[in-house]
Amino acid sequence: MLYKRSSALFKEAQDVIPGGVNSPVRAFKAVGGTPIFAKSAKGAYVFDEDDNQYIDYINSWGPMILGHAHKPVVDAVVEKAKLGTSFGMPTEIETKIAELAISMVPNIDKIRFVNSGTEACMSAVRLARGFTGKEKIIKFAGCYHGHSDAFLIQAGSGAVTFGSPNSPGVTEGTAKDTLLARYNDIDNVEALIKANADEIACIILEPVAGNMGCIPPKDNFLQKLRTLCDAHNILLIFDEVMTGFRLAKGGAQELFNVDADIVCFGKVIGGGLPVGAFATRNEIMNHLAPLGAVYQAGTLSGNPLAMAAGLAMLTEINLDDELFTRLAEKTEYLHKGMTKILQEHNIDHVINRVGSMISVHFCKDEVYDFETSAKGNNASFKAFFHGMLNEGVYIAPSAFETWFLCDALSYEDLDKTIEAVSRVAKTL
C-alpha cells in the first residue's frame, strides 16, 4: 500500500494542529508510521486519501454500529440540516430521542444530552457529588472516561498509549479526590471504601472495559459493586459510552442484569455526530439544573443534526431484534478464526471478547485488568497492526484499544480478515 497523500497531509497538518491530529490516538504514535487520512467510508469499509480501501474494525471508535454512511442516518441529517443547523431553543426531536432511549434502557427516567462522552461522564460525577454531598470518587486503573481532570488519573486509551495516564495540568487537589482501584478486584474496592468511610460519592467504571483492550467483568464484579454501593450509600455510575446500545438495547445493565444509578452514553447514541448523554432516575435527576442546583449546560447540546442522526440510529437498533445476536456471532467467528491461526503459529496471545467488542493481546496469561493488559508484547502488536494495515484491514492502532464490529461486515469480509491474519502471523 502507498500512503503518499496521507504522508503529505500529515506533514501539513502538523504545522497547524498539535501533532497533526485533534485526538492523540489518531497519530499512530504507539505503532509508528503515518496515520492514514480518511476520505470517505461506506458500509464496512473506509477509504483513505490515497484511495486505499480497508475493512474497518474501528468504526469511528464505536458509533458506526450499522456501518458507515448508513442511508437512514445520512438522510435524516441532510433533511434536518435544510431546516437550520442550531437554534439554542428546545426542539421536538430532543423529546423523541429521549423517549426512545428511555424505553430501551432499564432503570432510567430522564436523560440529558451533551456533546461528547467526556461531558457525559464529567456531568454524571458532578451530579453524583451534588446528590450525595460527598466529594471523592473511585475509578479503575486503565478505565477511560474522557479527558476531564478528575479522570486523568491512571487513565486508559490514548492517555496510557502516550505515556501520560496522569496528565500534567491536573492539580493535586483534583487528583486527591479520585481514588484508584484495580479492575475486577472487589477486595481492593472494599478496602478503599473502608479507608474513606462516608466520603465517596460514586464509583464510575466501564462495565466492560474497552480502553485497556477489551476486558470483561469477571466473577460477578458488577453485581458485587452494586452490593457495596448499596451498603455504603455510594452511587454506581456505568460509563456505557462504548457499551451503550452496542452490547444490547439496554447496554451492559441489560446484558449483566445489574442496575446502575447513573448511566453515561456517547458514540452509538449520536450516530456518528458529536453526542453524549447521561441518564438516571428522577430522584437523582431532580437535582440537575434547571430543576435543581447542580449546574450543567451546553450551547449545542441537543443539536438538531446530532439528534436526527441519533434518533435514526436508535430507531433502527430498536426495531432489529436480531442485531446484537448477528454482531456477536460475527465477532465470535472472527475470534475463532484468529485463535486457530495464532495457535498454529505458536504465537502467545489472548483474545478478549464481549458481544461486538474484541481485542488481541500478545501475551500468555489472562488479561483482566490494567496490569495484565500492560504485559502485552508491544513489538508484536506493532508488527501485527502494520501487517494488517498493509493487508487492507484497519484495526485499532494501540493494544490499549478495542475493535468494534459493525453490522455491515459480511462473512466474506471476516474471511478476508482471517486470511490476512494468517499471512501476517507468518511474519510475527
Name the residues that contact ligand PMP, by CB under 6 A.
61, 116-118, 121, 144-146, 157, 206, 210-211, 239, 241-242, 266, 276
Which has the closest alpha carbon to 183: 224, 152, 147, 150? 224
The active-site residue out of 267, 368, 382, 394 is 267
Nearest distance from residue 150's CB to ligand PMP, in Å? 12
Alpha carbon 112 to its chain centroid, in Å, reads 19
79 neighbors 308 (Cβ within 8 angstroms): yes
The active-site residue out of 239, 261, 369, 413 is 239
Which has the closest alpha carbon to 138: 162, 159, 160, 154? 154
The active-site residue out of 45, 57, 144, 368 is 144
What's the chain's length in residues? 428
How far is residue 119's CA from residue 367's CA, in Å, rounded to a whole number?
A: 29
Nearest distance from residue 22's CB to ligand PMP, in Å? 11
Nearest distance from residue 210's CB to ligand PMP, in Å? 6
Nearer to ligand PMP, 141 or 425 (CB): 141
- The DSSP output letter for 221 is H
Active site residue 239: yes
174 neighbors 167 (Cβ within 8 angstroms): no
C-alpha distances in Å from residue 214, one per residue of 5, 66, 211, 321, 354 = 33, 20, 7, 25, 8
Nearest distance from residue 309's CB to ligand PMP, in Å? 14
Q: How many helices (H) and strands (E) does the chain have?
A: 15, 14
Nearest distance from residue 92's CB to ligand PMP, in Å? 25
- State the residue number with the nearest CB to ligand PMP: 117
Neighbouring CB atoms inside 10 A of 150's CB total 20
* The three three-digit cell numbers of residue 57, written as one number: 474494525
Residues with catalytic function: 144, 239, 267
